[in-house]
Amino acid sequence: MFTDRAKIFIKSGKGGDGHVSFRRELYVPAGGPDGGDGGRGGDIIFQVDDGLNTLVDFRHVRKYTATNGSPGGKKRCHGADGKDLIIKVPEGTVIKELESGKVIADMSGENRREIILKGGKGGLGNMHYATSTMQAPKYAQPGQESQELWVILELKVIADVGLVGFPNVGKSTLLSRVSNAKPKIANYHFTTLNPHLGVVDLSDGAGFVMADIPGIIEGASEGVGLGHDFLRHIERTKVLIHVVDAASTEGRDPVEDIRTIKSELKKYQAELDERPQVIAANKIDALYESGEDPISRLRQAFEPEGIEVYPISAVSGQGVRELLYKVYDMLKTLDQKPVIFQREFDLEALHAGSDLPYSVNRNEEGEYVVEGPRIEKMLGYTNLESEKGFVFFQNFLKESGILDELEKAGIQEGDTVRMYGLVFDYYK
Protein backbone atom coordinates (compact mmCIF):
# COMPACT_ATOMS: atom_id res chain seq x y z
CA MET A 1 0.00 0.00 0.00
CA PHE A 2 1.26 3.45 -0.92
CA THR A 3 1.06 5.88 1.98
CA ASP A 4 2.14 9.50 1.59
CA ARG A 5 1.03 11.08 4.89
CA ALA A 6 1.48 10.13 8.54
CA LYS A 7 1.14 11.70 11.99
CA ILE A 8 3.72 10.65 14.59
CA PHE A 9 4.94 11.68 18.05
CA ILE A 10 8.68 12.20 18.55
CA LYS A 11 10.56 12.71 21.81
CA SER A 12 14.26 13.09 22.51
CA GLY A 13 15.96 11.65 25.58
CA LYS A 14 16.19 13.40 28.94
CA GLY A 15 19.64 14.28 30.25
CA GLY A 16 20.92 12.21 33.17
CA ASP A 17 21.04 13.86 36.60
CA GLY A 18 24.33 14.93 38.11
CA HIS A 19 25.43 12.90 41.15
CA VAL A 20 26.09 14.02 44.72
CA SER A 21 28.82 12.06 46.47
CA PHE A 22 32.04 12.60 48.43
CA ARG A 23 35.34 10.82 48.24
CA ARG A 24 35.73 8.47 51.18
CA GLU A 25 38.93 6.46 51.32
CA LEU A 26 41.29 5.25 54.00
CA TYR A 27 43.69 8.01 55.08
CA VAL A 28 41.63 10.54 53.05
CA PRO A 29 39.05 11.71 55.59
CA ALA A 30 37.92 14.76 53.61
CA GLY A 31 38.42 13.90 49.97
CA GLY A 32 35.92 16.44 48.70
CA PRO A 33 33.02 16.11 46.26
CA ASP A 34 33.38 13.52 43.49
CA GLY A 35 29.88 13.26 41.99
CA GLY A 36 29.99 12.73 38.22
CA ASP A 37 27.97 14.36 35.44
CA GLY A 38 24.86 12.85 33.89
CA GLY A 39 24.89 11.60 30.31
CA ARG A 40 23.37 13.41 27.38
CA GLY A 41 19.90 12.32 26.20
CA GLY A 42 19.56 10.79 22.74
CA ASP A 43 18.65 12.92 19.71
CA ILE A 44 15.80 12.34 17.26
CA ILE A 45 17.37 12.21 13.79
CA PHE A 46 15.60 11.90 10.43
CA GLN A 47 17.58 10.26 7.64
CA VAL A 48 16.82 9.59 3.96
CA ASP A 49 16.73 5.92 2.95
CA ASP A 50 16.86 5.40 -0.83
CA GLY A 51 15.24 2.00 -0.40
CA LEU A 52 11.99 3.55 0.78
CA ASN A 53 9.28 5.09 -1.42
CA THR A 54 6.32 5.21 0.98
CA LEU A 55 5.47 6.16 4.56
CA VAL A 56 3.53 2.95 5.16
CA ASP A 57 5.75 1.91 8.12
CA PHE A 58 4.45 4.88 10.11
CA ARG A 59 0.91 3.50 9.97
CA HIS A 60 1.92 0.86 12.51
CA VAL A 61 4.33 2.74 14.79
CA ARG A 62 3.22 6.23 15.85
CA LYS A 63 5.53 7.07 18.79
CA TYR A 64 9.31 7.41 18.57
CA THR A 65 11.36 8.08 21.70
CA ALA A 66 15.15 8.26 22.09
CA THR A 67 16.72 6.87 25.29
CA ASN A 68 17.54 8.98 28.33
CA GLY A 69 21.04 9.74 29.55
CA SER A 70 22.18 7.83 32.64
CA PRO A 71 22.84 9.65 35.92
CA GLY A 72 26.40 10.37 37.01
CA GLY A 73 28.11 8.17 39.58
CA LYS A 74 30.65 8.19 42.34
CA LYS A 75 34.33 8.78 41.75
CA ARG A 76 33.62 11.34 39.02
CA CYS A 77 32.03 8.69 36.80
CA HIS A 78 30.19 10.20 33.84
CA GLY A 79 26.76 8.74 33.08
CA ALA A 80 26.30 6.97 29.74
CA ASP A 81 24.83 9.04 26.93
CA GLY A 82 21.40 8.08 25.64
CA LYS A 83 21.24 6.40 22.24
CA ASP A 84 20.14 8.54 19.31
CA LEU A 85 17.03 7.38 17.47
CA ILE A 86 17.35 7.46 13.68
CA ILE A 87 14.03 7.59 11.80
CA LYS A 88 14.41 6.59 8.14
CA VAL A 89 12.16 8.22 5.54
CA PRO A 90 12.00 8.27 1.73
CA GLU A 91 13.51 11.17 -0.16
CA GLY A 92 10.97 13.93 -0.62
CA THR A 93 9.50 13.67 2.87
CA VAL A 94 8.49 17.01 4.36
CA ILE A 95 8.32 17.19 8.18
CA LYS A 96 5.77 19.67 9.57
CA GLU A 97 4.80 20.72 13.08
CA LEU A 98 1.27 19.41 13.69
CA GLU A 99 -0.44 22.44 15.24
CA SER A 100 0.92 25.21 13.03
CA GLY A 101 1.52 23.19 9.86
CA LYS A 102 4.89 24.93 9.50
CA VAL A 103 7.74 23.13 7.73
CA ILE A 104 10.46 21.83 10.05
CA ALA A 105 12.59 20.11 7.41
CA ASP A 106 12.43 18.92 3.80
CA MET A 107 14.36 15.68 3.39
CA SER A 108 15.24 16.33 -0.24
CA GLY A 109 18.25 17.26 -2.34
CA GLU A 110 21.40 17.53 -0.24
CA ASN A 111 19.50 17.33 3.04
CA ARG A 112 19.97 13.63 3.77
CA ARG A 113 20.19 13.70 7.55
CA GLU A 114 18.94 16.22 10.11
CA ILE A 115 18.66 16.41 13.89
CA ILE A 116 15.08 17.43 14.62
CA LEU A 117 15.01 17.17 18.43
CA LYS A 118 18.11 17.39 20.59
CA GLY A 119 18.49 15.32 23.72
CA GLY A 120 18.69 17.08 27.06
CA LYS A 121 22.13 17.94 28.43
CA GLY A 122 23.36 15.92 31.36
CA GLY A 123 23.35 17.64 34.76
CA LEU A 124 26.63 18.58 36.41
CA GLY A 125 27.76 16.56 39.41
CA ASN A 126 28.58 18.20 42.73
CA MET A 127 32.31 18.08 41.96
CA HIS A 128 31.74 21.25 39.85
CA TYR A 129 30.27 23.28 42.70
CA ALA A 130 33.10 23.22 45.22
CA THR A 131 34.40 26.70 46.06
CA SER A 132 36.66 28.16 48.72
CA THR A 133 33.59 28.99 50.79
CA MET A 134 31.56 25.86 49.97
CA GLN A 135 33.89 22.88 50.05
CA ALA A 136 31.21 20.23 50.52
CA PRO A 137 28.35 21.13 48.13
CA LYS A 138 25.34 18.86 48.45
CA TYR A 139 23.86 20.06 45.20
CA ALA A 140 24.01 18.52 41.72
CA GLN A 141 22.26 19.77 38.63
CA PRO A 142 19.30 17.77 37.32
CA GLY A 143 19.49 16.65 33.70
CA GLN A 144 17.86 18.88 31.12
CA GLU A 145 14.37 17.83 30.04
CA SER A 146 13.68 16.13 26.74
CA GLN A 147 11.93 17.78 23.79
CA GLU A 148 8.78 16.44 22.19
CA LEU A 149 6.60 17.23 19.19
CA TRP A 150 3.71 15.86 17.21
CA VAL A 151 4.69 16.09 13.56
CA ILE A 152 3.12 15.41 10.18
CA LEU A 153 5.16 13.59 7.55
CA GLU A 154 4.19 14.31 3.95
CA LEU A 155 5.79 12.59 0.98
CA LYS A 156 5.87 14.89 -2.05
CA VAL A 157 7.29 13.21 -5.14
CA ILE A 158 10.32 14.78 -6.79
CA ALA A 159 9.73 15.22 -10.51
CA ASP A 160 10.38 17.90 -13.12
CA VAL A 161 7.10 17.35 -14.93
CA GLY A 162 3.67 16.37 -13.62
CA LEU A 163 0.91 14.73 -15.66
CA VAL A 164 -2.47 16.02 -14.47
CA GLY A 165 -5.95 15.20 -15.64
CA PHE A 166 -9.18 13.44 -14.84
CA PRO A 167 -9.18 9.67 -14.35
CA ASN A 168 -8.93 7.45 -17.41
CA VAL A 169 -7.61 10.07 -19.85
CA GLY A 170 -4.37 8.18 -20.58
CA LYS A 171 -1.78 9.57 -18.16
CA SER A 172 -0.49 6.14 -17.16
CA THR A 173 -0.40 5.01 -20.79
CA LEU A 174 1.64 8.07 -21.76
CA LEU A 175 4.10 7.62 -18.89
CA SER A 176 4.63 3.94 -19.70
CA ARG A 177 5.28 4.77 -23.37
CA VAL A 178 7.86 7.53 -22.80
CA SER A 179 9.71 6.18 -19.75
CA ASN A 180 10.81 3.14 -17.82
CA ALA A 181 7.83 3.34 -15.46
CA LYS A 182 5.36 0.46 -15.43
CA PRO A 183 2.12 1.69 -13.90
CA LYS A 184 -0.88 -0.63 -13.92
CA ILE A 185 -3.26 0.33 -16.69
CA ALA A 186 -6.92 -0.63 -17.03
CA ASN A 187 -10.10 0.88 -18.37
CA TYR A 188 -11.75 2.05 -15.18
CA HIS A 189 -11.59 5.13 -13.00
CA PHE A 190 -8.94 5.61 -10.34
CA THR A 191 -6.77 2.78 -11.59
CA THR A 192 -3.83 4.89 -10.44
CA LEU A 193 -3.93 5.57 -6.71
CA ASN A 194 -0.15 5.93 -6.44
CA PRO A 195 2.01 8.59 -8.09
CA HIS A 196 4.43 6.90 -10.49
CA LEU A 197 7.79 8.32 -11.52
CA GLY A 198 9.53 7.67 -14.81
CA VAL A 199 12.74 8.94 -16.43
CA VAL A 200 12.22 10.28 -19.95
CA ASP A 201 15.40 9.82 -22.03
CA LEU A 202 15.76 11.99 -25.11
CA SER A 203 18.70 12.10 -27.54
CA ASP A 204 22.16 13.42 -26.61
CA GLY A 205 21.73 12.64 -22.91
CA ALA A 206 18.80 15.01 -22.53
CA GLY A 207 15.87 14.01 -20.36
CA PHE A 208 13.76 14.69 -17.30
CA VAL A 209 11.73 13.01 -14.58
CA MET A 210 7.99 12.76 -15.13
CA ALA A 211 5.32 11.91 -12.55
CA ASP A 212 1.88 10.46 -13.24
CA ILE A 213 -0.26 12.24 -10.63
CA PRO A 214 -3.44 10.29 -9.81
CA GLY A 215 -6.66 11.60 -11.33
CA ILE A 216 -7.99 14.88 -9.98
CA ILE A 217 -11.71 15.36 -9.52
CA GLU A 218 -13.73 18.53 -9.03
CA GLY A 219 -13.55 19.52 -5.38
CA ALA A 220 -10.03 18.11 -4.92
CA SER A 221 -8.78 21.38 -3.47
CA GLU A 222 -11.32 21.01 -0.64
CA GLY A 223 -10.16 17.46 -0.01
CA VAL A 224 -13.02 15.74 -1.82
CA GLY A 225 -12.14 12.10 -2.40
CA LEU A 226 -8.35 11.82 -2.32
CA GLY A 227 -7.88 15.35 -3.64
CA HIS A 228 -5.33 16.73 -1.17
CA ASP A 229 -3.32 13.52 -1.34
CA PHE A 230 -3.00 13.93 -5.11
CA LEU A 231 -2.46 17.69 -5.28
CA ARG A 232 0.37 17.44 -2.74
CA HIS A 233 2.57 15.70 -5.32
CA ILE A 234 2.27 18.50 -7.86
CA GLU A 235 3.96 21.02 -5.56
CA ARG A 236 7.53 20.13 -6.58
CA THR A 237 6.96 19.92 -10.34
CA LYS A 238 8.17 22.70 -12.62
CA VAL A 239 6.02 22.03 -15.69
CA LEU A 240 2.47 20.63 -15.83
CA ILE A 241 1.10 18.58 -18.72
CA HIS A 242 -2.69 18.59 -18.90
CA VAL A 243 -3.71 15.24 -20.38
CA VAL A 244 -7.26 15.28 -21.78
CA ASP A 245 -9.41 12.86 -23.75
CA ALA A 246 -9.72 14.83 -26.98
CA ALA A 247 -12.04 12.19 -28.47
CA SER A 248 -14.48 12.46 -25.53
CA THR A 249 -14.75 8.66 -25.44
CA GLU A 250 -16.59 8.92 -22.13
CA GLY A 251 -18.63 11.96 -23.03
CA ARG A 252 -16.41 14.48 -21.22
CA ASP A 253 -15.68 17.95 -22.62
CA PRO A 254 -11.85 18.37 -22.79
CA VAL A 255 -12.06 22.19 -22.56
CA GLU A 256 -14.22 22.07 -19.43
CA ASP A 257 -11.94 19.39 -17.93
CA ILE A 258 -8.89 21.64 -18.20
CA ARG A 259 -10.76 24.64 -16.80
CA THR A 260 -11.90 22.53 -13.85
CA ILE A 261 -8.40 21.26 -13.11
CA LYS A 262 -6.87 24.74 -13.41
CA SER A 263 -9.50 25.97 -10.96
CA GLU A 264 -8.66 23.19 -8.49
CA LEU A 265 -4.94 23.98 -8.76
CA LYS A 266 -5.58 27.67 -8.09
CA LYS A 267 -7.79 26.94 -5.07
CA TYR A 268 -5.26 24.56 -3.57
CA GLN A 269 -2.25 26.80 -4.15
CA ALA A 270 -2.48 29.84 -6.43
CA GLU A 271 1.16 29.55 -7.48
CA LEU A 272 0.54 26.12 -9.05
CA ASP A 273 -1.68 27.52 -11.80
CA GLU A 274 1.04 30.04 -12.67
CA ARG A 275 3.59 27.36 -13.55
CA PRO A 276 4.41 26.62 -17.21
CA GLN A 277 1.75 24.35 -18.72
CA VAL A 278 1.13 22.47 -21.93
CA ILE A 279 -1.87 20.42 -23.13
CA ALA A 280 -1.58 16.85 -24.40
CA ALA A 281 -4.78 16.26 -26.37
CA ASN A 282 -4.78 12.46 -26.13
CA LYS A 283 -6.68 9.71 -27.98
CA ILE A 284 -6.57 11.39 -31.39
CA ASP A 285 -6.51 7.84 -32.81
CA ALA A 286 -10.18 7.63 -31.75
CA LEU A 287 -11.20 10.93 -33.40
CA TYR A 288 -13.68 10.95 -36.28
CA GLU A 289 -14.05 13.71 -38.85
CA SER A 290 -17.70 14.35 -38.13
CA GLY A 291 -18.64 17.24 -35.86
CA GLU A 292 -16.55 20.05 -34.30
CA ASP A 293 -12.76 19.69 -34.19
CA PRO A 294 -11.80 19.37 -30.45
CA ILE A 295 -8.17 20.28 -31.14
CA SER A 296 -9.22 23.63 -32.63
CA ARG A 297 -11.52 24.25 -29.66
CA LEU A 298 -8.67 23.58 -27.23
CA ARG A 299 -6.31 25.88 -29.11
CA GLN A 300 -8.85 28.69 -29.28
CA ALA A 301 -9.54 28.37 -25.56
CA PHE A 302 -6.00 28.09 -24.16
CA GLU A 303 -3.32 29.22 -26.61
CA PRO A 304 -4.27 32.89 -25.97
CA GLU A 305 -3.31 32.13 -22.35
CA GLY A 306 0.10 30.90 -23.50
CA ILE A 307 -0.72 27.19 -23.15
CA GLU A 308 0.14 25.27 -26.31
CA VAL A 309 -1.85 22.23 -27.46
CA TYR A 310 -0.19 19.04 -28.77
CA PRO A 311 -2.41 16.35 -30.31
CA ILE A 312 -1.08 12.91 -29.34
CA SER A 313 -1.96 9.25 -29.14
CA ALA A 314 -0.37 7.62 -26.11
CA VAL A 315 -1.29 4.21 -27.57
CA SER A 316 0.31 4.62 -31.02
CA GLY A 317 2.94 7.21 -30.11
CA GLN A 318 1.72 9.76 -32.65
CA GLY A 319 2.75 13.32 -31.67
CA VAL A 320 4.45 12.21 -28.46
CA ARG A 321 7.99 13.09 -29.56
CA GLU A 322 7.02 16.68 -30.38
CA LEU A 323 5.34 17.02 -26.96
CA LEU A 324 8.40 15.74 -25.07
CA TYR A 325 10.84 18.06 -26.84
CA LYS A 326 8.54 21.02 -26.20
CA VAL A 327 8.48 20.17 -22.49
CA TYR A 328 12.28 19.76 -22.44
CA ASP A 329 12.72 23.19 -24.06
CA MET A 330 10.44 24.67 -21.39
CA LEU A 331 12.48 23.06 -18.62
CA LYS A 332 15.75 24.47 -20.00
CA THR A 333 14.47 28.00 -19.37
CA LEU A 334 13.66 27.27 -15.71
CA ASP A 335 15.78 27.02 -12.58
CA GLN A 336 17.44 23.58 -12.58
CA LYS A 337 17.54 23.27 -8.81
CA PRO A 338 14.92 20.97 -7.30
CA VAL A 339 11.97 22.57 -5.52
CA ILE A 340 12.82 22.49 -1.80
CA PHE A 341 10.43 23.68 0.90
CA GLN A 342 12.12 26.17 3.21
CA ARG A 343 12.05 25.82 6.99
CA GLU A 344 9.26 27.77 8.68
CA PHE A 345 9.22 26.31 12.19
CA ASP A 346 11.90 27.71 14.51
CA LEU A 347 13.75 24.66 15.81
CA GLU A 348 16.49 26.81 17.29
CA ALA A 349 14.02 28.37 19.72
CA LEU A 350 12.96 24.88 20.72
CA HIS A 351 16.57 23.77 21.15
CA ALA A 352 17.60 26.88 23.05
CA GLY A 353 15.18 27.33 25.92
CA SER A 354 16.36 30.93 26.39
CA ASP A 355 14.33 31.98 23.37
CA LEU A 356 11.06 30.55 24.66
CA PRO A 357 8.36 33.08 25.56
CA TYR A 358 7.00 34.01 28.96
CA SER A 359 4.30 36.34 30.22
CA VAL A 360 3.84 38.57 33.29
CA ASN A 361 0.25 39.20 34.43
CA ARG A 362 -1.64 40.12 37.59
CA ASN A 363 -4.47 37.87 38.78
CA GLU A 364 -7.64 38.71 40.70
CA GLU A 365 -5.91 38.16 44.05
CA GLY A 366 -3.33 40.83 43.20
CA GLU A 367 -0.54 38.28 42.70
CA TYR A 368 1.94 38.68 39.86
CA VAL A 369 1.88 35.51 37.76
CA VAL A 370 4.89 34.66 35.61
CA GLU A 371 4.39 31.70 33.28
CA GLY A 372 5.28 30.24 29.91
CA PRO A 373 7.46 27.46 28.51
CA ARG A 374 10.65 29.39 29.28
CA ILE A 375 9.83 29.53 33.01
CA GLU A 376 8.64 25.95 33.13
CA LYS A 377 11.82 24.76 31.43
CA MET A 378 14.06 26.69 33.83
CA LEU A 379 12.26 25.41 36.94
CA GLY A 380 12.53 21.87 35.57
CA TYR A 381 16.29 21.74 35.90
CA THR A 382 16.93 24.05 38.86
CA ASN A 383 17.14 22.81 42.45
CA LEU A 384 15.79 25.74 44.47
CA GLU A 385 16.37 23.96 47.77
CA SER A 386 20.12 24.43 47.47
CA GLU A 387 22.02 27.67 47.93
CA LYS A 388 23.68 27.34 44.55
CA GLY A 389 20.39 26.65 42.82
CA PHE A 390 18.68 29.64 44.42
CA VAL A 391 21.50 31.96 43.34
CA PHE A 392 21.13 30.60 39.81
CA PHE A 393 17.38 31.28 40.00
CA GLN A 394 17.92 34.89 41.08
CA ASN A 395 20.41 35.49 38.28
CA PHE A 396 17.98 33.97 35.78
CA LEU A 397 15.22 36.39 36.84
CA LYS A 398 17.58 39.34 36.38
CA GLU A 399 19.34 38.31 33.15
CA SER A 400 16.15 37.20 31.38
CA GLY A 401 14.49 40.55 31.99
CA ILE A 402 11.71 39.13 34.18
CA LEU A 403 12.50 41.50 37.06
CA ASP A 404 12.29 44.46 34.67
CA GLU A 405 8.94 43.21 33.38
CA LEU A 406 7.62 42.87 36.94
CA GLU A 407 8.64 46.44 37.75
CA LYS A 408 6.99 47.71 34.56
CA ALA A 409 3.83 45.92 35.68
CA GLY A 410 3.94 47.96 38.92
CA ILE A 411 5.18 45.43 41.46
CA GLN A 412 6.07 46.73 44.93
CA GLU A 413 8.19 45.26 47.73
CA GLY A 414 6.24 42.63 49.61
CA ASP A 415 3.95 41.77 46.66
CA THR A 416 3.45 38.08 45.89
CA VAL A 417 4.91 36.44 42.77
CA ARG A 418 3.65 33.08 41.54
CA MET A 419 5.50 30.83 39.09
CA TYR A 420 3.65 27.55 38.64
CA GLY A 421 4.06 25.79 42.02
CA LEU A 422 6.51 28.40 43.35
CA VAL A 423 5.23 31.35 45.44
CA PHE A 424 7.46 34.04 46.97
CA ASP A 425 7.41 37.68 48.12
CA TYR A 426 9.20 40.28 46.04
CA TYR A 427 12.06 42.27 47.56
CA LYS A 428 14.81 44.20 45.80
Is residue 169 within 8 Å of residue 149, measured between CB atoms? no
Taking alpha carbons only, the member of 98, 108, 103, 228 closest to residue 152 is: 98
Q: What is the pLDDT of residue 10?
A: 95
CA dist 378 → 199, 334, 360 (Å): 53, 50, 16
Query: How far from the centroid of its chain's Cα atoms is residue 148's Cα?
Result: 14
Spatial separation of the C-alpha atoms in residues 86 and 395, rounded to whole Å: 37
Segment 80-130, tens digit of pLDDT: 999 999 999 988 899 998 888 888 999 988 889 999 999 998 988 888 877
Taking alpha carbons only, the member of 139, 202, 210 closest to residue 173 is: 210
Segment 116-128, tens digit of pLDDT: 999 998 988 888 8
Spatial separation of the C-alpha atoms in residues 126 and 132, rounded to whole Å: 14
Segment 385-427, tens digit of pLDDT: 666 567 767 777 777 778 888 888 888 888 888 887 678 787 7
The whole-chain average pLDDT of the chain stands at 81
Segment 130-140, tens digit of pLDDT: 776 667 777 78
Plot region of 149 (φ>0 → left; ψ -120 to 50 → alpha; else → beta)? beta
CA dist 142 → 19, 132, 289, 338 (Å): 9, 23, 83, 45
Q: Which amino acid is at 296?
A: S
